[in-house]
Amino acid sequence: MPLLEVANLSVRYDKAVILNGVSLSVDAGEFVGVVGPNGAGKTTLLRAISGLVRLEERMKRGTSGDIVLEGEVRFSGRRIDALGAHEVRRLGLVHCPERRRPFRELSVLENLRAGAYLSRSAAETARRFERCFALFPRLAERKEQLAGTLSGGEQQMLATARALMFEAKLLAIDEPSLGLAPRLREELFAAIRRIHSEGVPVLLVEQEVGQVFRMADRSYVLSQGKIIAQGKAEQLMADETLRAGYLGL
Ligand SMILES: Nc1ncnc2c1ncn2[C@@H]1O[C@H](COP(=O)(O)OP(=O)(O)OP(=O)(O)O)[C@@H](O)[C@H]1O
Ligand SMILES: [Mg+2]
């Protein structure tokens, strides 16, 4: 049984079809990538999986602009597509959204502590802090600094680190490298690789196809709301049409 199983997922905003019958899975221990052009529906896919689309749907119900979410999402065998974002996170499916920013008025330490609110004990929280700082030495050097005074890239790093303060059974990350300089990007990808190697399955959405292909066991190519291809990097790269048309390689 896959850890995460998405079956025939569709999302419509009013009449616009954003996701159209998407099916994908992530097995225990796997690193799965999702790539595709701007506007393909990658962010919507992660938001639908993590309960954010459902939350939006509930908030908007009865007002103008209907949101329709259909299909099934299972996590550890359990249906989660009717759950809101908080319930999904409580089950261990942790979503680190696109362009996430930390709380500017809080220090690095306080931001991370806010991420650990579901921690069972002080010892557990301490262990998670240690892990975060081992993964992000740059943040360890800036514990007391107010998040608002970190560089844009460091803030983005902190947002990813904060997601790690949850006990993730699956980490779903949306464009973590967006706008980062090469050096920070490398640090961030190294951290993500290490998180995975320590046993946390990863579902990664990234513009940088080459980077995804180096890290992921398998990837899906999403275009106009549909999965148009999937497989290992070598298989996807071998497809000329795919390479030229969708992967930009
Ligand atoms: N809340 C919303 N209401 C209406 N349309 C939306 C909403 N969210 C997303 N869309 C539309 O759905 C399409 C897919 O958006 P999405 O953000 O999922 O794409 P993406 O693949 O993540 O793109 P990018 O690579 O630019 O981040 C876009 O055309 C977008 O305008
Ligand atoms: Mg996106």
**Ligand 1 nearest atom to the CA of residue 36, by list position:** 21
Cβ neighbours of residue 119 under 8 Å, at least 6 residues apart? Answer: 125, 128, 165, 167
Within a domain: 114:
no
What is d(CA 52, CA 115) in angstroms, rounded to the nearest whole number? 17
Domain ranges, residue 188: 4-98+167-242
Within a domain: 40:
yes
Which of 13, 178, 208, 226 has most ligand 1 atoms within 8 Å of CB, for mutation? 13
Tens digit of each residue's pLDDT (9 = 90 or more) over 91-133: 999 999 888 888 899 999 999 988 777 777 888 888 888 988 9
- pLDDT bin (cut points 50, 70, 90) of residue 11 is very high
**Closest protein CA for atom 28 of ligand 1:** 39
Q: What is the pTM of this model?
A: 0.93
Distance 205 CA to ligand 1 centre (A): 13
Return the residue matching tokens 């954003």.
18
pLDDT higher than threshold 80 for residue 175: yes
We report the CATH number of the domain holding residue 215 as 3.40.50.300
Within a domain: 22:
yes
Tokens (6 digits) for 224: 């106009």
Within a domain: 108:
no
List the one residue out of 4, 31, 1, 29 whose CA is nearest residue 202.
31
Cβ neighbours of residue 86 under 8 Å, at least 6 residues apart? Answer: 51
Tokens (6 digits) for 36: 């595709």
List the one residue out of 238, 232, 200 whose CA is nearest residue 216.
232
Distance 108 CA to ligand 2 centre (A): 26
- Could you tell me what percentage of the chain is helix, strand and coil, using 3-state DSSP and rounding each to the nearest 5? 40, 25, 35
- pLDDT bin (cut points 50, 70, 90) of residue 163 is confident
Sheet holding 67-75, edge to edge: 16-26, 4-13, 67-75, 78-79
* Number of domains forming the structure of the chain: 1
